[in-house]
Amino acid sequence: MVAQNVFFGILALVMGVSAIRVVTVKNVVHAALYLVLVFAGVAGIFILLAAEFLAVVQVLVYIGAILVLFLFGTMLTRAPIGRTPDLDNPAGQRGLSALVALALFGFLGAILVDAFSDSKVEPTGVVTSSDVALSIFQDYVIPFEVISILLTAALIGAVVIARRD
Amino acid sequence: MLEYAWVVPAITFTSFWIILLFGKKLPMKGAEVGIGALVMCFVLSVALSGAWISRTADLEVEAHKTVETGEHGSKTDDHGGESDSSGDHGGGGDHRLVLPSPAPLVMGAAEGGEGGHHSYIIREPVQKEWTWFSNGQIDIKAGIHIDGLAVALLFVVSTISLLVHIFSTSYVHGDERFTHYFAFLSLFTTGMFVLVTASNTLQALFGWELMGLCSFGLIGHWWEQYPNARAALKAFFTTRTGDVGLLVGISILFFAAGETFDIASTNAAAIAGEIPDGVLIAAAAALLVAVIGKSAQFPLHTWLPDAMAGPTPVSALIHAATMVVAGVYLIARLYGVFWEAFDIADGGFNAIAIVGGITILIAAALAFVQRDIKKVLAYSTVSQLGFMVMALGVGAWTAAIFHLFTHAFFKACLFLGAGSVSHSGSHHSFDMVADMGGLKKYMPKTFWTFATATLALAGVPPLAGFWSKDEILLGAGENGYTFFLVVGLVGAFMTAAYMTRCVYLTFFGEPRGAAAHHHPHESPSTITIPLIILAVLSVFAGLLNAPGILKFTEWTDNITVITAGMEHHDFSIITALFSVVVGLGGILTAYAYYWKGFRVGVLKYDQGISGSIYRFLGNKYYLDDLYEKGVVAGVSGPVARAAYWINQKVLDGVVNGAGVTARGLARFVYEILDQKVVDGIVNGTGYASEGAGAGLRVVQTGKVQQYAVAMFIGVIAFAGLLVVFV
Amino acid sequence: MYLTQFLLLAAFLFCVGIYGVIARKNAVLVLMSIELILNSVNINLVALGAWRGFEEQIIASVFSLFIIAVAAAEVGVGLAIVLLIYRNRQSVDLSQVAEMKG
């Protein structure tokens, strides 16, 4: 178990720093790249937790599609490439939000620790794609269909919203 | 038949409405309806008279009927009586006949004035009543009470009214209010009929007042001239003053006679002595006041001469034959009350006779100094009414009624004659001195009828006036009222004298003024025919009660115990002679004065004592001044000023005060309550909302991120609370 | 491995994401912060699923899959909107988008 803990530690560290960097860098593209790190880190966590299909999907979708989307968006909105100072709200608001975020973290943390201390996570088996597939198409087929519709709607919606007419 | 006497007033009442509503559209403008109705009434009244006479005549046959009465002073007489005042008894015998019902008959005997007994018969009147409404214990009835008195008056009224209607078609021809005139005539006749046939005092009051109203309307027929309107008002108010007495009298009698308005029961109660003396005198005095007002006795006679402002046929109807005799009728109807109250049987003096006597003399004196022919006749009427009232006062009941009967005919003839003269002779002027004279040759029919009526009025036998006046004098003398006998004789003298003066000034001498300039001619036949009819009646009507015939007495006498039981005095040659001498003396005096120009002593009226007497008479004893300036002005001035003050200060003050208060209140409500308080509240809530909104709006920056901040802060707080407390 | 470490990690990511949402002015960066949040949720799910048992693991995976799908859709539409905003205003400055002010 030590290996897992070590890996987890590394991943957590990376993710933490990256996340903070995402929200603080003065460069849009850098933020996007730091986000990649976060996503990757999440995928690693998934693997630690024996949800390999999910990890793969995470990489594929998030890093492969969503991030690209972000980059597209950045470029289409002529986001300034390079350091730009005015990416953040005024200091007052930032201070307030830091406060809120910290308060929230402290709060959540306290509760979580209080609730789940001494709970161990021991993944019993690896969740394969067949398990997931079976689960989706047997038990959760309706949500699946709904998600499909949602995706279709989002697709069409995005096209409609963004078309140039 | 007699039960249907109520049809008579009903006919004229209906004709009133028809004339009023449809008259203007009819060809003769309503006159034909009026005349038609009166013809029907005349025929009916003749029929009713016939029916009553036959009812009385039945008595002759049933002389042996022995129905007892309980009236005081009577004794039953089994054997047909000791005397035969009611004529033959059909030859002794004791056959009893059953009278047809409803015709109960009462026989009895009474103490006569001279100690003789004579039997009398009372004929029950025909009564028919309907209850109009009842109020607790009191029933107000409307009904008819027909006996000889009522029938006689019905005949007189319908005859005179019919002749006046016919006369009026010519006299008022072309007048713009022709239709209303006839409507009023009909209504007036209704009023008199209602009074005459009334079975209870309330109905009599109704008829009385109705006549007062119609006389107001008729006297003031040409109200565009202010004096006419004033005369109408004067008549109305003066009679109204008397009517207070009527109301008081009726009310007292109602309670005194045991809470009934019925005339027959009231009379019976009075005769039977059920009413205490004081109450009876009070009631009788009050009623006497009413009679003084309505029948123009002294001191309320002043309205009658002024009422001559109305059209002449109106004067003939109202002020000769009908309305003014209502008072006399009232006394005659309620004679039991008066008899007992004033102790008429005792002789000497009593209130009624005094009033009547004074009236005779002062009115006759005033008639001497009038230039207006109608005013002469008016004062003559007042004087003759005085005769009637005096007759009732001295206990000559039948004489009074008979005089009423005959006087109606010749006075109406005189008035209509005056109307004829003014219509065709003096160009609508009534001034004898200025505009008449020498009309005898131009208007022969008018002259002869006028002269006949004058002779009748003067009391020259065998014309009507002689019989009736003589009977009055006889009654006065024989009943122990010798003073009034003398008064009557003086009055007769004066009557003859002033009437002859009147005839002279109108028909003899040289034509003056209008008579000279406006070609006098005889009047059309619608005017002269009534004159002729009335003149004939004046000649022959008196014979109805001439001694030996005495039919009138027989037919009307038998109403109450008193009237039936009165002593019927035999004809006295001495009294008759006196009255004839006096009458002729009056005529001769006037003849000497006017025809022969004989002026001596008292007759020189423009100097000395005669002068002052003349002026005194000319100013009508200053009574009018007394009434108008003294009573009326003295009361009305202060009263009017007080009323004005109350109106301006008190009433207007209250009203204005109410207005000002209301306005102030309204202003307060508006300015303070509405504008400040209510609007303040309403606006305040608005402002509060707005302020709150403005305050809260700050939160809505439109920046989503700030919303998110707020949201999360809220979440933290909420969760914190949850954690801490749950 | 303790459960709490995963959960704390997720909480940390979540809070950072919150901070990012509120503090960032550029719309695209805000969307990125939202992605952070969604990921933290995924971690949560899977961790708790793993803590419970195998079935729950599968279910957690499935659920996370759905969340990923939704996130994708949301980013797509969101970016379309940002594009539109940019087209109309020539800037993606969120503090300018305050039409709902007041």
* Tens-place pLDDT, residues B337-355: 888 888 777 767 888 889 9
Residues of A in contact with C47 (CB under 8 A): 45, 49, 121
Nearest Cβ partner for B709 among C22, C24, C97: C22
CA distance B148 to B555: 6
pLDDT by residue (tens digit) across B69-128? Answer: 333 333 333 333 333 333 333 333 333 333 233 334 444 444 333 333 445 556 667 777
Residues of C in contact with A54 (CB under 8 A): 42, 46, 61, 64-65
> Buried (b) or exposed (e) across B612-623, using 16+ Cβ within 10 A?
eebeebeebbeb
Residue C89, chain A, CB below 8 Å: the answer is no
If one counts the domains in chain A, the total is 2
pLDDT averaged over every residue in chain B: 79
How close, in Å, is residue C17 to chain A by CA atoms? 8
CATH number at residue A70: 1.20.120.1200
Residue of B nearest to A88 (CA): B705
Give residue B577's pLDDT: 82
**Final residue before a domain boundary, out of A20, A55, A83:** A83
Check whether residue B489 and residue B369 sit in a common domain.
yes
Q: Is residue A42 part of a domain?
A: yes
Check whether residue B371 and residue B494 sit in a common domain.
yes
Give residue B83's pLDDT: 34
Q: Is residue A107 part of a domain?
A: no
Give residue B560's pLDDT: 60
Check whether residue B520 and residue B645 sit in a common domain.
no
Q: What is the residue range of B697's domain?
A: 623-708
CB contact under 8 A, B708 and C21: yes
CA distance C102 to C100: 6
Total CB pairs under 8 A between chain A and C: 257
Find where tokens 């800037």 sit: C91
Give residue B642's pLDDT: 81
CA distance A111 to A121: 18
Residues of B in contact with A107 (CB under 8 A): 716, 719-720
Total CB pairs under 8 A between chain A and B: 19
How close, in Å, is residue A155 to chain C by CA atoms? 7
Q: Let me know: does A151 contact C72? Beta carbons within 8 Å.
A: yes
Q: How many CB atoms lie within 10 A of CB B451?
A: 17
Helix (H) / strand (E) containing B435: helix B432-435
Rounded to the nearest 5 degrees, what angle is found at the Cα of B36, between the Cα atoms of B425 and B409? Answer: 50
CB contact under 8 A, C23 and A23: yes
Residues of A in contact with B713 (CB under 8 A): 100
Give residue B94's pLDDT: 32
Say if residue B564's pLDDT is above 90. no
Nearest Cβ partner for C80 among A98, A127, A162: A162
Residue of C nearest to B707 (CA): C22
Nearest Cβ partner for A45 among C24, C43, C84: C43
Neighbours of chain C (3+ CB pairs under 8 A): A, B
% of chain B at pLDDT higher than 90: 16
% of chain A at pLDDT higher than 70: 96
CB contact under 8 A, A140 and C68: no
Please tell me which residue, B10 or B698, carries the higher pLDDT value. Answer: B10
Sequence-separated (6 or more) residues with CB below 8 Å from residue C93: A86, C25, C26, C27
Q: Let me know: does B459 contact B492? Beta carbons within 8 Å.
A: yes
Nearest Cβ partner for B713 among A89, A100, A111: A100
Confidence of residue B568 (pLDDT cuts 50, 70, 90): low
Residues of B in contact with A111 (CB under 8 A): 723
Q: Which amino acid is at B207?
A: G
Q: Is residue A104 part of a domain?
A: no
Q: Which two tokens stand for residue B176?
A: 């713009």
Check whether residue B489 and residue B511 sit in a common domain.
yes
Check whether residue B490 and residue B460 sit in a common domain.
yes
Nearest Cβ partner for C58 among A38, A96, A132: A132
DSSP B182-234: HHHHHHHHHHHHHHHTBSBHHHHHHHHHHHHHHHHHHHGGGTTSHHHHHHHHH
CB contact under 8 A, C23 and A161: no
CB contact under 8 A, C101 and B702: yes
Residues of B in contact with C24 (CB under 8 A): 705
CB contact under 8 A, A100 and B709: yes
CA distance B171 to B317: 14
Confidence of residue B64 (pLDDT cuts 50, 70, 90): very low
Interface test mutation site (partner A, options C52, C65, C88, max chain A beta carbons within 10 A) = C65
CB contact under 8 A, C30 and B705: yes
Q: Quick one: three-class SS letters along B476-525?
A: HHHCCCHHHHHHHHHHHHHHHHHHHHHHHHHHCCCCCHHHHHCCCCCCCH
Least confident among A143-147, B53-57, B144-148? B53-57
Domains of chain C: 3-95 (1.10.287.3510)
Q: Is residue B627 part of a domain?
A: yes
Nearest to B284 by CA among B317, B322, B248, B259: B248
Residues of C in contact with B706 (CB under 8 A): 22
Confidence of residue A17 (pLDDT cuts 50, 70, 90): very high
Q: What is the residue range of A140's domain?
A: 128-165
Q: Is residue B290 part of a domain?
A: no
Say if residue B359's pLDDT is above 80. yes
Q: Is residue A88 part of a domain?
A: no
Determine the average pLDDT of the residues in B658-671.
84
CA distance B202 to B213: 17
CB contact under 8 A, C94 and B702: no
Interface test mutation site (partner C, options A17, A120, A161, A163, max chain C beta carbons within 10 A) = A161
Q: Is residue B221 part of a domain?
A: no
Least confident among B57-71, B221-235, B545-559, B640-654? B57-71
Nearest Cβ partner for B723 among A96, A97, A111: A111
Nearest Cβ partner for B702 among C23, C24, C100: C100
**Final residue before a domain boundary, out of A50, A83, A116:** A83
Please tell me which residue, A149 or B57, carries the higher pLDDT value. Answer: A149
Say if residue B298's pLDDT is above 80. yes
Q: Which two tokens stand for residue B625?
A: 């001044």
Residue A133, chain C, CB below 8 Å: the answer is no
Total CB pairs under 8 A between chain B and C: 31
Residue B723, chain A, CB below 8 Å: the answer is yes
Residue B705, chain C, CB below 8 Å: the answer is yes
Q: Is residue A156 part of a domain?
A: yes
Residue C9, chain A, CB below 8 Å: the answer is yes
Say if residue A129's pLDDT is above 80. yes
Residue of B nearest to C21 (CA): B705
**Final residue before a domain boundary, out of B590, B618, B646:** B618
Residue B713, chain A, CB below 8 Å: the answer is yes
Nearest Cβ partner for C98 among B703, B708, B709: B703
Residue of C nearest to B694 (CA): C102
pLDDT by residue (tens digit) across B174-229? Answer: 888 888 899 999 999 999 999 998 888 888 999 999 999 998 999 989 888 888 89
Residues of A with a Cβ under 8 Å from any B Cβ are 89, 93, 96-97, 100, 103-104, 107, 111
Q: Is residue B92 part of a domain?
A: no
Q: Where are the beta strands (DSSP E) in A28-119?
A: none
Q: Quick one: three-class SS letters along B572-633?
A: CHHHHHHHHHHHHHHHHHHHHHHCCCCCCHHHCCCCHHHHHHHHHHHCHHHHHHHHHHHHHH
Check whether residue B508 and residue B473 sit in a common domain.
yes
How close, in Å, is residue B716 to chain C by CA atoms? 12
Rounded to the nearest 5 degrees, what angle is found at the Cα of B181, between the Cα atoms of B180 and B182? Answer: 90
Check whether residue A133 and residue A79 sit in a common domain.
no
Residue B719, chain C, CB below 8 Å: the answer is no
pLDDT by residue (tens digit) across B216-259? Answer: 999 989 888 888 898 898 888 888 888 999 999 999 988 888 77
Residue of A nearest to C39 (CA): A42
Burial label, B35 (beta-carbon count in 10 A; 0-12, 13-18, 19+): buried
Find where tokens 């008979």 sit: B402
Give residue B133's pLDDT: 75
Give residue A82's pLDDT: 67
How close, in Å, is residue B693 to chain A by CA atoms? 24
How close, in Å, is residue B675 to chain A by CA atoms? 47
Cis amide bond preceding B511, omega within 30: no
Q: Is residue B381 part of a domain?
A: yes
If one counts the domains in chain B, the total is 3
CA distance B628 to B362: 19
CA distance B70 to B108: 9
DSSP B336-399: HHHHHHHTGGG-S--HHHHHHHHHHHHHHHHHTT--BHHHHHHHHHHHHHHHHHHHHHTT-HHH
Q: Is residue B39 part of a domain?
A: no
Nearest to B276 by CA among B301, B296, B258: B258
pLDDT mean by block of 10 residues, chain C; 102 residues: 90 94 88 94 93 90 94 93 87 78 70
Nearest Cβ partner for A35 among C27, C32, C84: C32
CB contact under 8 A, B709 and C23: no
Check whether residue A77 and residue A1 sit in a common domain.
yes
Rounded to the nearest 5 degrees, what angle is found at the Cα of C73, between the Cα atoms of C67 and C76? Answer: 140
Q: Let me know: does B223 contact B229? Beta carbons within 8 Å.
A: yes
CA distance A4 to B26: 135
CB contact under 8 A, C57 and A51: yes
Q: Let me know: does B37 contact B20? Beta carbons within 8 Å.
A: no
Interface test mutation site (partner A, options B701, B706, B709, max chain A beta carbons within 10 A) = B709
Least confident among B10-19, B145-154, B603-612, C83-92? B603-612
CA distance C53 to B58: 144
Determine the average pLDDT of the residues in B404-410.
90
CA distance C20 to A94: 9
Check whether residue B363 and residue B443 sit in a common domain.
yes
Check whether residue B439 and residue B517 sit in a common domain.
yes
